[in-house]
Amino acid sequence: MSDLRERTGEAFELGERLTVIGRRLEPGDPAPDFALDCLDAPDAPPATVILADSEGRVRLLNVINSIDTPVCHVESRRWEHRLAGSGTRLYTVSMDLPFALARWRAAEGVTHRLLSAHREERFGRDYGVLVKEWRLLQRAVFVIDGAGRIVHAEYVADQMREPDYDAALVAVEAAAGA
């Protein structure tokens, strides 16, 4: 069951204080399961991706506001580049429609899966990233080990800033070596 607590002021953009719904996840917490929509190409059939699909692998969830914003665009491409060849399963998650994500993926030539949480707010509440005022997700990064435990969680307060890539990569390497 989702935690509906509201955290005011933990996220902001250009001076606008935002309210985030859900509790912050911490290292050691079990990663909440999810069922999110995915189109791997604009003309592909829709698929549902669940966390258990990648069980046994290290996963990095790149959570963004919207793929059509400059910071989210740069961040999603940067994660693809930084994790190339690592064996880590990379997912970018947003509330964008799957069609928009598939168009961006095809136009940018990226290979990782972009997952849409547009149907409901459960992912946002369960991971503590649902921005109440926008009905979008707060920028965040989660590293999940092969056993399904959170090993790194970064909630980015300033929505105009990128996450700490190096800290997340240290967690990825540690989880891969475990």
Q: How is residue 3 written in tokens?
A: 């935690």
Contacts of residue 171, Cβ cutoff 8 Å, sequence gap at least 6? 143, 151, 152
- Report the relative pairing of strands 59-63 and 47-50 from DSSP bridges: unpaired
Kindly state the tokens that stand for 52: 């258990």
70 in Cβ contact with 162 (< 8 Å): no
Active-site residue identified among 11, 60, 72, 117:
72
Q: Is 38 a catalytic residue?
A: no
Q: Which residues are catalytic?
A: 72
